Chains A and B, each alone.
Chain A
Amino acid sequence: MSIDRRDFLKLAALGGGAVFASSLPGCASMGYGGQEDFYFVQLSDTHWGFNGPVVNPDPRGTLPKAIAAVNALPVQPDFIMFTGDLTHTTDDPAERRKRMREFREVAATLNVRNVHYMPGEHDASLDRGEAFREFWGDTHYAFDHKGVHFIVVDNVSDPAARIGDEQLAWLAADLAKQPKEARIVVFTHRPLFDLAPAWDWATRDGDKAIEMLMPYPNVTVFYGHIHQENHHMTGHIAHHAAKGLMFPLPAPMSQPKRDPIKWDAEHPYRGLGFREVEAEEKKPYEINEMPLVKA
């Protein structure tokens, strides 16, 4: 990471822009060389097309607001990752595509051109990812960036929340090409582990994916779906859920139903935000949680 970026972050923190900056467990030793420092931004659960003024009276303004915040970052990220639920679900295939088209137009206003997308169940579960693929291609894929191997796992195109044997075989083959010391980041929409099965916050065969990842000591998972920060360890693997960008949800099993948290006119956009993830060689990832609106 350049000294400029460090200075900018310090300034942002002093001004209240960064609410949380901490080294999180799960990737304390990074022995795999050849990495340049960089950072990326995770945006999640934008639910374009959602209509529910009680929880968000500004559904068409929230994503542009987030994009403006990202565009205003003093140092632009290397890339941006949208971890699913780009659009809010609809039974109407034409309306689904209209929402995706509009989302794509709004997302195109990001200054960063290197943007990756993956589906959430709202985008893909009712048509098994058909419309998503028309706009953004494969629902699962891998890419490399400055010494880190990124794997996008689709656990939503099957409406029963399964990764599926075919994709698991692809994952096994992809991992087999990586050295054991590789720095691996996995993006999913749903949690791979049983965070709250009674709220459908789980992946039915997520344990198989975790088992495949376990032999690799440097694996971190970033996901969405639950519209709030959450940090969890399965063995040495850290799983970090991101805030959403339409409405927050209650803490896992903190109430009988997972109803969205109502809009607070005193604190508009509270609970919404995005995150920066800093990747520095031989250091833990540093996660900066950025609120959409400063407190």
Chain B
Amino acid sequence: MDKTRRNILAGSAALVAAGLGLRAAAEERVIKVVARKFVFLPGEIELKVGEPVVLEFTAPEVVMGFNLPDYKLRTDIIPGQVSRVRFTPDRKGTFPFLCDIFCGDGHEGMSGKIVVT
């Protein structure tokens, strides 16, 4: 196999892999969540069992935390960065989440819920 043909094949394979990757990523529903003093927006997130999702968090003000204890998932949310949490709900129910980094007077009320049907 000459070098040119090898490069073309390698390139095609890479494109296929990239395409598969894109298709895999496309299967995940992306949900953007803003964490600001002292609310998550949206505060209620509806998901389906078996549906893979990516929660994309931003915090425009101060460092916040996202903690979903029932799924043992958490992340820091740092201003200027996007924090991502990937997961696939495996059971129905209502699961509370909260900010677990103290962020001021109102922190205690900063929570929300994920409703899985």
- CB within 8 Å for A159 and B111 given contacts A198-B69, A198-B96, A256-B96: no
Residues of A near B98 (CB, < 8 A) are: 198-200
Encode contact with A along B34-73: 1 for CB under 8 Å, 0 otherwise: 0000000000000000000000000000010101011000
Tell whether A88 pairs with B67 under 8 Å between CB atoms, given A160-B100, A198-B96, A200-B98.
no
Given contacts A160-B65, A160-B100, A198-B96, contact A259 B105 (CB under 8 A): no
Could you mark each residue 72-108 of chain B with 1 if its beta carbon is under 8 Å from any beta carbon of chain A, else 0?
0000100000000000000000001111111111011
| Interchain CB contact under 8 A, B96 and A159 | no
Main secondary structure, interface of B, reads mixed
Q: Are B105 and A200 in contact (CB under 8 A)?
A: no
Q: Is B11 an interface residue (CB 8 A)?
A: no
Bound Cα distance A160, B98 (Å): 12
On chain A, the residues within 8 Å of B107 by CB distance are 89
Taking CB atoms and an 8 Å cut-off, the chain A residues in 177-205 that contact chain B are: 197-200, 204
Min CB distance B31 to A, Å, is 20
How many cross-chain pairs have Cβ atoms below 8 Å apart between A and B? 45
Which A residues are in CB contact (< 8 Å) with B63?
159
Contacts of B102 in A (CB 8 A): 89, 121, 125-126, 156, 159-161
Q: How far, in angstroms, from A90 to B105 measured CA to CA in the complex?
A: 6
Beta-carbon nearest neighbor of B94 in chain A: A256
The size class of the interface chain B forms with chain A is 20 to 34
Which chain B residue has the least Cβ–Cβ distance from A161? B100
Chain B residues near A270 (CB-CB < 8 A): none
- Name the distance in Å between A258's Cβ and chain B's nearest Cβ: 6
The answer to whether B109 has its CB under 8 Å from any CB of chain A is yes
A interface bracket (residues with beta carbon within 8 Å of B): 20 to 34
Contact, CB under 8 Å: A89 / B104:
yes
Residue among A126, A156, A200, A258 making CB contact with B100, cutoff 8 Å:
A200
Residue of A nearest to B111 (CB): A257
Q: Which residues does chain B contribute within 8 Å of A160, judged by CB atoms?
A: 65, 76, 100-102
Chain B residues positioned under 8 Å from A88 (CB to CB)? 105
Q: How far is the CA of A258 from the CA of B111 in the complex (A)?
A: 10
Cβ contacts under 8 Å, B70 to chain A: 198
Residues of A within 8 A of B76 (CB): 160
Given contacts A91-B104, A126-B102, A159-B63, whether A197 and B69 have CB atoms under 8 Å apart is yes
Alpha-carbon distance between A103 and B63 when the two chains are bound, in angstroms: 28
15 A-B contacts, Cβ less than 8 Å apart?
A: A89-B102, A89-B107, A159-B102, A160-B65, A160-B76, A160-B101, A161-B101, A161-B102, A197-B69, A198-B69, A198-B96, A198-B98, A200-B67, A200-B98, A204-B100
Chain B interface residues (CB < 8 Å from chain A)? 63, 65, 67, 69-70, 76, 96-105, 107-109, 111
Sample of 13 more A-B contacts, CB < 8 Å, known A197-B69, A198-B96? A89-B104, A91-B104, A159-B63, A159-B101, A159-B102, A159-B103, A160-B76, A160-B100, A161-B102, A198-B69, A198-B70, A204-B100, A258-B108
